[in-house]
Amino acid sequence: MQISEEISGIDPGEPIRLSDYPMFYFAAIQAQNFRNMAGALDVIGVSPTEWRVLNLLEERPGRTVNDVADLAVIERSKASRAIASLTEKDCIKRLETKKDRRKAELRLTDKGQDLARRAREIALQVYARNLKGLSQEDFDTLMRCLRTIRENTLVTEQYVDIEL
């Protein structure tokens, strides 16, 4: 039996205990990880959102604000604020694109590359604590399952037939 069949067997007239719902754990883990990461990164003056921007631009230089927001899974307004903050700190430079002068490619400055490296070192320590006790096999299984769930959530057309 697939999990979707088990879930569909739940009595809709009864409350669902949050502790039985995987998405509750995703939300709880994300919220706590954000708080942990904020505390850890504060020593270098970087927010978790700024860290994600730095990391993305280190990995994929030359992206636009929209690209950064989409790829780093950050609301556009929060991405824009993080990019403005990092630009003020001289960590990001904006370069006009030849195709569309309204858009700017974002690149890390030398200072931004150094800050990205320092933030990565801190973030990896937080991630290691979060994943403590998982074997490599557990980790591989977790990532495979998360990728499957992520792909499932991207298919919004399937929700058109939800009955009330």
* pLDDT given for residue 99 in this prediction: 73
Secondary structure element (H or E) that encloses residue 96, with its range: strand 92-96
Does residue 26 fall inside a structural domain?
no
Residue with tokens 């903050």: 85
Task: Indicate which CATH number applies to the domain containing 122.
Answer: 1.10.10.10
Quote the CA–CA distance of 154 and 109 in Å, as a whole number. Answer: 34
pLDDT mean across residues, the chain: 87
Count of domains for the chain: 1
What does the pLDDT average to over 114-142? 96
Q: Which of 17-21, 22-26, 145-149 has the highest mean pLDDT?
A: 145-149
Q: What range defines the domain where residue 88 resides?
A: 44-130
What does the pLDDT average to over 131-159? 88
More confident call, 10 vs 53: 53
Residue 90 CA: distances (Å) to CA of 51, 93, 112, 130: 15, 7, 7, 31
Selection from 28, 103, 111, 24 nearest residue 62 by Cα: 103
- 93-108: per-residue pLDDT in tens? 998 877 766 778 999 9
Quote the CA–CA distance of 20 and 38 in Å, as a whole number. Answer: 28
* pLDDT given for residue 39 in this prediction: 97
Does residue 64 fall inside a structural domain?
yes
pLDDT at 1 over 50: no
pLDDT at 134 over 50: yes
What does the pLDDT average to over 55-73? 92
* pLDDT given for residue 161 in this prediction: 58
* pLDDT given for residue 120 in this prediction: 96
Residue with tokens 């990896």: 124
Does residue 146 fall inside a structural domain?
no
Does residue 125 fall inside a structural domain?
yes
User: What is the band of 81 on the pLDDT scale with cuts at 50, 70, 90?
Assistant: very high
What does the pLDDT average to over 72-85? 93
